[in-house]
């Protein structure tokens, strides 16, 4: 069924765009405005749960942004003033395709990138990631905190998603242009992030790769508990 719809969407782009338009009207319009012009001050249009619409223009953001936001589940966003979070998209594959091509048709913009992590270098990736990404995402991409927002870990993100995020700068994330991070460098970053999903754990159980906090938990809840138990086994207990 999905493949059939996919085939249809590819074969009949106008139909997909038309489908996309109606999906857009139902689900996106209250915040992103008519034909993606954006709603820059709280509108009277009320969306889901009666929330007033507010959202950026989608003209010129291209398929890249739409693909990223829809596939991460960031959009649809119920309340425009909260941080979008990862969730399963409520849309089917075909619906996402339709919405993406509709948004792309609103005013051009970048296409969905095709990164080539196999062409990247892991060590360049580590350097670049440390310089531009680790401050928020943590050096092994386990996620973190930036004032007022939560930074997602990248454990589930595909190469395309990473590349899209770098070029879009979703929510509070900076947007990195090609002059700053070239496509070649992006390949290395993507390769590094993919590698960081399965880091080199030659030391044993990896403890989530976030350093001393879980190590402290192991110290107390495994080592100290075991040793106290041994002490109790060896030593006497006071009879009172």
Partner 1 sequence: MIRRLVRFVDERSASAPLVKKTLRYLFPDHWTFLLGEVALYCFVILVATGTYLTFFFEPSIAHATYAGSVEQLRGLDVSRAYKSAVDISFKVKAGLLIRQTHHWAADVFVAAIILHLLRIFFTGAFRKPRDLTYYIGLTMLVLALLEGYLGYSMIDDLLSGMGLAIGYSVLMSVPFVGANLAALVWGGPFPGKQASESRLYVAHVLIFPVAIGALIGLHLLLVAARHHTQFRGRRKTQRKVVGVPAFPGQTPRSLGLALAVAAVLFLLGGLVQVNPIWLWGPYHIASGTNGAQPDWYLGWLIGALRLVPGFDWTIGRYTLVPNAFWGGVLFPGIVFMFLFLWPWAERRATGDRAFHNLLDRPRDRPWRTAIGAAMFAWVFLIFIAGAADRVYVLFGISYQAQIWVFRVVVWVVPIAALLLTKRLCDELRAREELQSRRSQAEHEAALASEPAA
Partner 2 sequence: MSGIGRWVAAGLVLLLGRLRRRPVLEPRERIVPPGTADRRAEWILVLLFVLAALSAAAFPVVYAVDAIPHQTQFLGLSLGLAFAFLAAASVLIGKRLIVTEELEEDYPPPEHPVEQEEIEQLVEESGDRFTRKRLIAISAGAAGAALGVAMITPAASLGPVFDVSPFFQTPWRRGRRLVDESGKPFRATDVFEETFYTAFPEGADREQLGAPLVVVRLSPGQLDLPDGRGGWAPGGILAYSKICTHAGCAVALYRKPLFPPTEPRPALVCPCHYSTFDPARGGKVLFGPAGRPLPQLPLAIDADGNLRAAGNFSGAIGPAWWGVRNRGAHS
Q: Any residues with CB less than 8 A from the CB of 234 and at least 6 apart, and which?
A: none
CA dihedral 186, 192, 193, 199 (to 10 degrees): 180
- What's the min distance (Å) between Cβ of 17 and partner 2? 25
**Residues within window 18-37 making contact with partner 1, judged by CB under 8 A:** none
**Residues within window 198-227 making contact with partner 2, judged by CB under 8 A:** 202-204
109 binds, among partner 2, partner 1, none (CB under 5 to 8 A by kind): none
| Cβ-based nearer residue to partner 2, 19 or 74 | 74
Q: Which stretch binds partner 1 (CB under 8 A): 17-25, 47-55, 169-177, 231-239?
A: 231-239
Give the single-character DSSP code of 110: P
| Cβ-based nearer residue to partner 2, 27 or 168 | 168
Q: Any residues with CB less than 8 A from the CB of 217 and at least 6 apart, and which?
A: none
Q: Which stretch binds partner 2 (CB under 8 A): 14-22, 101-109, 139-147, 210-218?
A: 139-147
> Which pair of tokens denotes residue 198?
């399965």
Asked whether 189 and 133 are in contact (CB, 8 A), the reply is: yes
Is 147 an interacting residue with respect to partner 2 (CB under 8 A)? yes
Asked whether 112 and 164 are in contact (CB, 8 A), the reply is: yes
| Cβ-based nearer residue to partner 1, 7 or 149 | 149
Is 198 an interacting residue with respect to partner 1 (CB under 8 A)? no
**Residues within window 56-115 making contact with partner 2, judged by CB under 8 A:** 56, 80-81
Closest of 168, 171, 141 to residue 155, by C-alpha:
141
């Amino acid at each position: 069924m999905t493949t059939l719809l996919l085939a249809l969407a590819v074969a009949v782009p106008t139909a997909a765009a038309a489908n996309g338009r109606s999906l857009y009207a139902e689900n996106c319009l209250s915040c992103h405005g008519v034909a993606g012009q954006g709603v820059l001050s709280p509108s009277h249009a009320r969306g889901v749960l009666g929330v007033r619409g507010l959202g950026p223009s989608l003209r010129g953001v291209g398929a890249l942004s739409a693909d990223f936001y829809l596939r991460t589940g960031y959009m649809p966003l119920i309340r425009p003033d909260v941080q979008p979070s990862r969730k399963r998209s409520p849309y089917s594959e075909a619906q996402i395709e339709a919405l993406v091509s509709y948004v792309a048709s609103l005013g051009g913009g970048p296409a969905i990138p095709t990164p080539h992590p196999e062409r990247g270098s892991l060590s360049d990736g580590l350097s670049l990631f440390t310089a531009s990404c680790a401050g928020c995402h943590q050096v092994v991409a386990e996620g973190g905190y930036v004032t007022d927002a939560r930074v997602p870990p990248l454990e589930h993100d595909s190469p395309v998603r990473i590349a899209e995020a770098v070029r879009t700068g979703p929510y509070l994330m900076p947007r990195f242009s090609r002059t700053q991070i070239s496509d070649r460098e992006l390949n290395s970053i993507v390769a590094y992030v993919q590698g960081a999903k399965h880091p080199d754990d030659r030391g044993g159980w990896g403890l989530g790769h976030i350093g001393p906090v879980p190590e402290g938990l192991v110290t107390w809840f495994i080592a100290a508990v075991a040793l106290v138990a041994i002490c109790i086994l060896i030593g006497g207990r006071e009879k009172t």
